[in-house]
Amino acid sequence: MYYCSMKLYDAISQMRRLSANNIPFSISFVSLNQTKGTSNGEKNVSKCLLRKGLSKDESDKANLLIGYTDLSDNTNKWFYLPLLLKYNNIELE
């Protein structure tokens, strides 16, 4: 069995490059609603692009929250960077 992994920030860098060229990718992450203190478990998004995130003036979580567009329904959503598990089915370290 072949196992492949990638560093988190290398994955984000590749995701940004793909998004800049309008090339979709897949991600998996653990959901988190920090306000309610709840999670709906692992989420899998088959086609998405990163979008503009929050500025440091807008949120103290600007470095942690990553904005993306889910292309299955064209909705804008967020995930917490430390909870990103996979990018294009590659596990992240």
Indicate whether 82 pLDDT > 60.
yes
pLDDT of residue 11: 96
DSSP single-letter state for residue 80: E
pLDDT of residue 3: 65
pLDDT digits over 11-59, tens only? Answer: 999 999 999 999 999 999 999 998 899 999 999 999 999 999 877 888 7
pLDDT of residue 49: 98
CA distance 37 to 56: 22
pLDDT of residue 13: 96
- Look up residue 7 and give its two tokens: 């560093």
CA distance 75 to 37: 23
